[in-house]
Amino acid sequence: MSLKHVGPGSSLRPSPPPTTTTFGPVLPRSADVLPIYISAPFVQRMEVLVLTMVGAHGLTDMVIGYNDPGMWLMYGSYGLCSFFLPLPVCAAGFLVHSAAHFSADVGVACGSLTSLVIPPLIIATAGLVTAVRVELAYLTLLHVPLHYMRVWSMLVRSPLAATIIIGAGHAIIAAWMAVRRKLRPVRLSGEPWYLTCSHAELRIVNALVCAHVAYNALSSRDNVTVLVGGILF
């Protein structure tokens, strides 16, 4: 901010802030308090890392069931259903599958709380972005490690296939997430890039998640709760 003389007898007054810069228009004052991930590349990279870890853990299905026609049939069936059913129905199915899936981590009651009760409460009190971040924290710190522990004995039967499929999957997903972050920048409202999804993207994610849940349920014969959840839902 500079000072300029505005006339005889007048005092020095600060000049108004510029409305444009070399890089484009100046953001409104409200942009000064936008979330930190807009101005912190490290946080953006961590978001890509977290989303990659969460999204890639389902690739264990390909290692375990790559020669199982039932696995491919299940993923294909869920894909068709997800693209032909209305989005509200897909969303309801997603929530039910999440509750059944999380019950393998923390039991039926806590699994239902984690997927059906706590997220709406956080959305109502702190907003959608906070709710998504809480869910991502739960998935990263608890669900994904427990998932690998549950399937580890099956992964080590095909160590080379597991290394190639899961490693390549992480690299591909990370690259896509990085590109997508560039294509869909954060909005001035503070909405993160990973929440700006099209209907097609939502349907794809819904199909992959629900198929992953159902296949794990049907292949986890030692977990009656998850097995029943997979059969019913």
Out of 27-31, 39-43, 157-161, 194-198, which region has the weakest mean confidence (pLDDT)?
27-31
Q: Where are the alpha helices (DSSP H) in the chain?
A: 41-56, 60-65, 69-84, 87-112, 118-126, 128-138, 144-155, 159-183, 199-219, 224-232
Contact 77, 199 (CB under 8 A): no
Q: CA-CA distance, 176 to 197, in Å (whole number)?
A: 14
Which residues form the domain of 102? 45-232
30 lies in a domain? no
- % of the chain residues with pLDDT over 70: 69
Place of tokens 């806590």: 110
pLDDT in tens, 54-81: 989 999 998 888 888 888 988 999 999 9
pLDDT at 189 over 80: no
16 lies in a domain? no
pLDDT value of position 31: 40
Q: CA-CA distance, 94 to 156, in Å (whole number)?
A: 30
Could you tell me which residue, 11 or 89, shows the higher pLDDT? Answer: 89
Task: For residue 37, count other CB atoms closer than 10 A to its CB.
Answer: 18
Average pLDDT, the chain: 74
Q: CA-CA distance, 36 to 19, in Å (whole number)?
A: 23
pLDDT at 186 over 70: no
Distance (Å) of CA 105 to CA 121, 143, 150: 21, 6, 10
Residue 23 phi/psi, 5-degree rounding, is -100, 5
> What's the start-to-end Cα distance of the chain, in Å?
62
Task: For residue 210, count other CB atoms closer than 10 A to its CB.
Answer: 27
126 lies in a domain? yes
pLDDT at 26 over 90: no
The domain tally of the chain equals 1
14 lies in a domain? no
40 lies in a domain? no
Out of 16-20, 48-52, 93-97, 201-205, which region has the weakest mean confidence (pLDDT)?
16-20
Q: CA-CA distance, 83 to 207, in Å (whole number)?
A: 8
pLDDT in tens, 129-144: 788 888 888 889 988 9
28 lies in a domain? no
Q: CA-CA distance, 233 to 214, in Å (whole number)?
A: 8
Cβ-proximal residues to 91 (8 Å cutoff; 6+ apart), any chain:
206
110 lies in a domain? yes
25 lies in a domain? no
pTM of the model as a whole: 0.69
